[in-house]
């Protein structure tokens, strides 16, 4: 009932999972990841205990194959399980139990495991693998995972339909203000087109959290400062700084400059006020 991709970035700095399903809030059940340790997906009658146990095994130094073997060993329902794992070194493993509903299967490559069950056919997994391999290795892991997920969705995905999708990526100190490792954690729990909605959310996430390019910094001279303060007042704020705080754009505005994207958003909002 699910298709997923689990991967590590080429530089070994990020690990993540992207998954979609005709299942409510698939992100609450399938993915798990920890920076410097690895990532995994548990699906098809998911055994959610695989997530903490799998990460603990990986953290103890077991590779993807050994971690998978140990998780399955004492699970009487293992033939109903499907699992994908990538370890700290980028080794990958995937498993599809004999009792998973057709079509079900998976493939692995360098730093990646792709798997799915109750799919329209093997073309879903193959499209995801092809999209992953064709994506730019220098691109953020979140973008590469999303590209693969969209490719699987485009050729059929879950044979029962669409409902939810999620994207989880971790990196050492990658979370908000560097306090944890959660770089991206986006969930679409119930939506008629969850993969496209996930793509929209990732774009919004990038607006708020990505570091702006230096060339996109517009000097905030006296003339521009007067303009942005006036535009902010038109929107009911005391000045530009108050508007920035209300819109959560602290990452894209500074005392001496403003990001070009933020300036465009402010002008558009004020024009529509």
Per-residue pLDDT of the chain (273 residues; tens, 9 = 90+): 699 999 999 999 999 999 999 999 999 999 999 999 999 999 999 999 999 999 999 999 999 999 999 999 999 999 999 999 999 999 999 999 999 999 999 999 999 999 999 999 999 999 999 999 999 999 999 999 999 999 999 999 999 999 999 999 999 999 988 999 999 999 999 999 999 999 999 999 999 999 889 999 999 999 999 999 999 999 999 999 999 999 999 999 999 999 999 999 999 999 986
Q: Are residues 15 and 61 in the same domain?
A: yes
DSSP string, 179-244: SSSEEEEEEE-S-SSHHHHHHHHHHHHHHHHSPPPGGGEEE--HHHHHHHHHHHHHTT-SSHHHHH
Token pair, residue 49, equals 């205990």
8 plus 135 within the same structural domain: yes
Q: Which of 180, 209, 238 is the last residue of a domain?
A: 209
Q: Which residues pair with 7 in a beta bridge?
A: 16, 112
27 is in which domain, residue-wise?
Answer: 2-209
The CATH number for 9's domain is: 3.60.20.10
Residues 88 and 41 occupy one common structural domain = yes
Residue 205 and residue 244 in one domain = no
Q: What is the pLDDT of residue 152?
A: 98
Contact (Cβ atoms closer than 8 angstroms) between residue 196 and residue 203: no
- How far apart CA 52 and CA 162 sit, in angstroms, is 27
Predicted pLDDT of residue 244: 97
Determine how β-strand 92-96 pairs with β-strand 82-87. Answer: antiparallel
Residues 115 and 129 in one domain: yes
Q: Are residues 132 and 101 in the same domain?
A: yes
Same domain, 180 and 198: yes
Same domain for 173 and 256, yes or no, is: no
What is the separation of C-alpha 11 from the centre of its chain, rounded to a whole number of angstroms? 17
Looking at the fold, whether 36 and 150 belong to one and the same domain comes out as yes
Contact 198, 149 (CB under 8 A): yes
**Residue partners of 19: CB distance under 8 A and separation at least 6:** 2, 3, 4, 5, 26, 27, 30, 31, 41, 43, 149, 165, 166
Q: From 192, 209, 226, give the residue that closes a domain.
A: 209
Residues 17 and 136 in one domain: yes
Same domain, 106 and 185: yes
Angle formed at CA 141 by CA 140 and CA 147, multiple of 5 degrees: 95
Q: What's the distance, CA 169 to chain centroid? A: 5
Return the sign of the alpha-carbon dihedral for residues 131, 132, 138, 139: positive
* b/e 15-52 (16+ beta carbons within 10 angstroms → b): bbbbbbbbbeebbebbbbbbbebbbbbbbbbbbeebbe
Question: How confident is the model at residue 272, as a pLDDT?
Answer: 86
Cα separation, 68 vs 83, whole angstroms: 8
Q: What is the total count of domains within the chain?
A: 2
Of the three residues 186, 209, 232, the one that is the final residue of a domain is: 209
My answer on whether 127 and 30 are in the same domain is yes
Show the CA angle centred on residue 23, arms to residues 106 and 9, nearest 5°: 45
Query: Model pTM?
Result: 0.94
User: CA separation (Å) from 147 to 103, 128, 134, 143, 219?
Assistant: 22, 8, 10, 6, 35
């Amino acid at each position: 009932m699910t298709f997923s991709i689990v991967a590590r970035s080429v530089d070994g700095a990020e690990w993540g999972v992207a998954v979609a399903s005709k299942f409510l809030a698939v992100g609450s059940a399938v993915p798990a990841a920890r920076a410097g340790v690895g990532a995994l997906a548990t699906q098809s009658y998911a055994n959610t205990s695989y997530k903490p146990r799998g990460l603990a095994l990986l953290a103890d130094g077991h590779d993807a194959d050994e971690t998978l073997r140990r998780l399955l060993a004492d699970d009487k329902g293992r033939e109903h399980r499907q699992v994908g794992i990538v370890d700290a070194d980028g080794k990958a493993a995937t498993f599809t139990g004999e009792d998973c509903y057709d079509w079900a299967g998976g493939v692995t490559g360098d730093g990646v495991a792709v798997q799915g069950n109750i799919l329209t056919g093997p073309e879903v997994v193959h499209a995801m693998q092809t999209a992953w391999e064709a994506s730019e290795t220098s691109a953020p892991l979140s973008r590469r995972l999303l590209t693969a997920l969209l490719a699987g969705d485009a050729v059929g995905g879950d044979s029962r339909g669409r409902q939810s999708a999620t994207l989880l990526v971790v990196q050492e100190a990658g979370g908000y203000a560097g306090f944890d490792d959660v770089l991206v954690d986006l969930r679409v729990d119930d939506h008629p087109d969850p993969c496209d909605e996930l793509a929209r959310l990732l774009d919004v996430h990038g607006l708020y959290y990505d570091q702006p390019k230096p060339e996109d910094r517009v000097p905030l001279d006296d003339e521009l400062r007067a303009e942005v303060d006036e535009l902010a007042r038109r929107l009911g704020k005391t000045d530009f700084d108050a508007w920035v705080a209300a819109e959560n754009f602290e990452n894209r505005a500074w005392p001496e400059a403003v990001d070009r994207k933020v300036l465009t958003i402010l002008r558009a909002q004020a024009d529509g006020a």
